[in-house]
Amino acid sequence: MADNKPIQPPTGTRDLYPIEAARRRFITEAWRRASINHGFEEVDGPTFESTELYTKKSGEGIVSEIFGVFSGKDEQGVKALGEKLARGEDAPAPYALRPEFTPTLARMYAARAASLPKPTKWFTAGPFFRAERPQRGRLREFLQWNCDVIGLALPEKPTAEDVARATAQADAEVIAACVGLLRELGLTENDFKVRINDRRAMGAVFEKGGVVPEAYPALFAHLDRIGKLAPEVWRTEASKLGVPDTLQLWFLNTMQLADNRDQSQFAGEMTGTLAALFSVWSESLAPIRKQLEAAGIPSGVIVEDVKIVRGLAYYTGMVFEVIVDGERAVAGGGRYDNLIELFGGPSTPAVGFGMGDVVLSLVLQDKGLMPSDAELMQIAGQSPDVFVISNGTPEADAALPSVLADLRRGTRESRGRDSLHARRTSKTTKNVGKLLQEAERSGAHFAAIVESSGEVTLKNLRTREQDQARTPIASLKAEVLKRLGRMDRGS
RNA sequence: GCGAUCGUAGCUCAGUUGGUUAGAGCACCGGGUUGUGAUCCCGGGGGUCACGGGUUCGAGUCCCGCCGAUCGCCCCA
């Protein structure tokens, strides 16, 4: 007897039925549109990479959350790995499903750096994989949209000021693309905040505050938890990292400041060393704020936040997260000025961000911004242009297949723009009323009732207006194209 | 890796202190005497009650195990 137990989709993956596929398409189309309108060009890379690409320059913990991939042709390799593992040695798979895009991007840029414009603006959107425990807003397979600006537009002999301005401009450019998308989807400035920080600024504060450089990475990680831990607990840990009391106090004060509307007043309460540290920090964030405001991002949306440090080791400057209340970060990114060089390219500053589809979908649902099912099918291009119905006579039944085929046929000259989405029923009933009902439910724009081998009656299902006169089958397609307003090109 | 909650039809869920053959709505298919549709009426298919044990005369219901899902912790590229 056969084992009929259904095989379920792997943990953290999704089966997308038509309406869910349409929902995903709605998001990816918005991503494409926003990035193209902001001047980014689409690129893409492999969905699996050599594991080295991620282990080389990333931290240790990352490997454990990578999905390993083996070649089915490499039996010996697999066996060798098995033996290593049996001995308790580290044995990563030779390939990894990509957990992020930035390393691929860095490699791609490095390989052609000499011939690429400065700046180069690339975007990509596709599937990524992380072997984490799924929970709200987090799955093991997800889509991620990335926008990156690589290189800076600089004069022949740039001054430090030129570099700083170009840097802030590029930083603002990626954030503007990200915010542009959110606004296009209907989120307003009341719905989200762009929380920004700067790793170099933090470094300067650490230095002035008396922390040894060796402790910086651990301190960045610890700062990530400042809002989650009780202040006393956080301070105890900070002390262990060699953070002086004054600096601890500054972190706690400044953290609250990020959530306090009246920043100037709060800042005014800091005196002496605290105030000095604060100006080091805030002054280095001033240029990026200025550029963001110039890019049309409302000042109320921008929040300087000492908590935002990002886990990734490769960030070197500005870092940011876009937070929608009640959800985890919907997007995050930052500046990584050393990474291109690390992949064998010329020293090139770069900045970028990623946005996942999982949290974004939750946000759109929370805010009621996800279009209705019917709208989605239309947006995804799945509503038929014409639903062809036979009037039930043998003559019409016989003519129907060729009517359908003709409507569907596209020509190379028009690049398929003259091809129509045409459907017919698969039901056996000849009840025209029922078939019209089916046509309407399919979301079709027109119904074409085949009357004979030579004529149809057209009905606009949106307006419910039916033609008095019949249309010859020979001119049906042209007539429908005309009524759909698609005759403006070619011919 | 840890914790909490939950698994009955494709979906949303009923199902009494354990008691005949497990139900509804939606969806799907067909019909309402062969041509005009959102309503309505009639009919139909579809469930080894996640899976495996146990208690019992009898288990969807109680107990144990297991798998899965959701939410949270850890982590977050």
pLDDT 10s digits, A79-92: 887 777 777 677 77
A220 and A297 together in one domain: yes
Triad A380, A383, A388: Cα angle to 5°: 155
**Which of the nucleotides lies closest to A470 (Cα–C1')?**
B35
Residues A477, A283: Cα–Cα separation, whole Å? 65
Q: What is the mean pLDDT of residues A312-328?
A: 88
Q: Residue A266: pLDDT band by 50, 70, 90 thresholds?
A: low
A93 and A235 together in one domain: no
Q: Are A338 and A200 in contact (CB under 8 A)?
A: no
**Which of the nucleotides lies closest to A392 (Cα–C1')?**
B34
Residue A11 falls inside a structural domain: no
A177 and A218 together in one domain: yes
Please report the pLDDT score of residue A265 as a whole number.
Answer: 60
Residue A2 falls inside a structural domain: no
- Look at A130-134, A257-261, A295-299, A405-409 and tell me which has the smallest mean pLDDT: A257-261
Residues A389, A400: Cα–Cα separation, whole Å? 8
Looking at strand B, which nucleotides approach a protein CB closer than 7 A? 1-2, 28-32, 34-38, 48, 68-77
- The CA-atom distances, in angstroms, between A127 and each of A17, A28, A355 are 17, 11, 12
* Residue A359: CA count within 13 A, CB half-sphere: 20
Residue A446 falls inside a structural domain: yes
**Which of the nucleotides lies closest to A100 (Cα–C1')?**
B77
Domain end marker among A366, A400, A425: A366
For residue A169, the surrounding DSSP H or E stretch is helix A160-184
- The phi and psi torsions of A125 (rounded to 5 degrees) equal -145, 125
A91 and A109 together in one domain: no
A398 and A307 together in one domain: no
Residue A210 falls inside a structural domain: yes
Protein CA at A59 to nucleotide C1' at B77, angstroms: 9
Any idea what the CATH number is for the domain that residue A404 is in? Answer: 3.40.50.800
Please report the pLDDT score of residue A58 as a whole number.
Answer: 55
Task: List the structure tokens of A113.
Answer: 């750096």
Residue A243 falls inside a structural domain: yes
Please report the pLDDT score of residue A376 as a whole number.
Answer: 85
Residues A187, A179: Cα–Cα separation, whole Å? 9
Peptide bond before residue A119 is cis, with ω within 30 degrees of 0: yes
pLDDT of A119-175, one tens digit each?
999 999 999 999 988 998 999 999 999 999 999 999 999 999 999 999 999 999 999
Q: Average pLDDT of chain A?
A: 88
Protein CA at A424 to nucleotide C1' at B74, angstroms: 54
**Which of the nucleotides lies closest to A103 (Cα–C1')?**
B77
- The phi and psi torsions of A193 (rounded to 5 degrees) equal -130, 145
Protein CA at A4 to nucleotide C1' at B34, angstroms: 43
Residues in contact with A39: Cβ distance below 8 Å, sequence separation at least 6, in sequence order: A121
A336 and A193 together in one domain: yes
ipTM of predicted complex: 0.86
A44 and A59 together in one domain: no
Nearest Cα to Cα of residue A448 among A419, A427, A477, A428: A477
Residue A6 falls inside a structural domain: no
Protein CA at A8 to nucleotide C1' at B21, angstroms: 32
Please report the pLDDT score of residue A263 as a whole number.
Answer: 59
Place of tokens 């930035």: A102
Residue A12 falls inside a structural domain: no
Count of the separate structural domains present in chain A: 3
Over 50: is that where the pLDDT of A3 sits? no
Domain boundaries, position A233: 18-48+103-152+161-366
Any idea what the CATH number is for the domain that residue A202 is in? Answer: 3.30.930.10
**Which of the nucleotides lies closest to A64 (Cα–C1')?**
B75
Residue A123 falls inside a structural domain: yes
Q: Residue A441: pLDDT band by 50, 70, 90 thresholds?
A: confident
Over 50: is that where the pLDDT of A490 sits? no
pLDDT of A204-259, one tens digit each?
999 999 899 888 888 888 888 888 888 888 898 899 889 999 999 899 888 877 76
Protein CA at A9 to nucleotide C1' at B12, angstroms: 22
Residues A461, A1: Cα–Cα separation, whole Å? 51
A332 and A284 together in one domain: yes
Q: Are A174 and A291 in contact (CB under 8 A)?
A: no
Q: Are A247 and A274 in contact (CB under 8 A)?
A: no
pLDDT of A274-290, one tens digit each?
888 888 899 999 999 99
Residues A203, A270: Cα–Cα separation, whole Å? 20
Protein CA at A205 to nucleotide C1' at B5, angstroms: 45
Place of tokens 């070197």: A316
- Helix, strand counts (H, E) of chain A: 17, 17
A56 and A40 together in one domain: no
Task: List the structure tokens of A260.
Answer: 């306090």
Q: What is the mean pLDDT of residues A61-73?
A: 79
A357 and A402 together in one domain: no
A399 and A330 together in one domain: no
A415 and A327 together in one domain: no
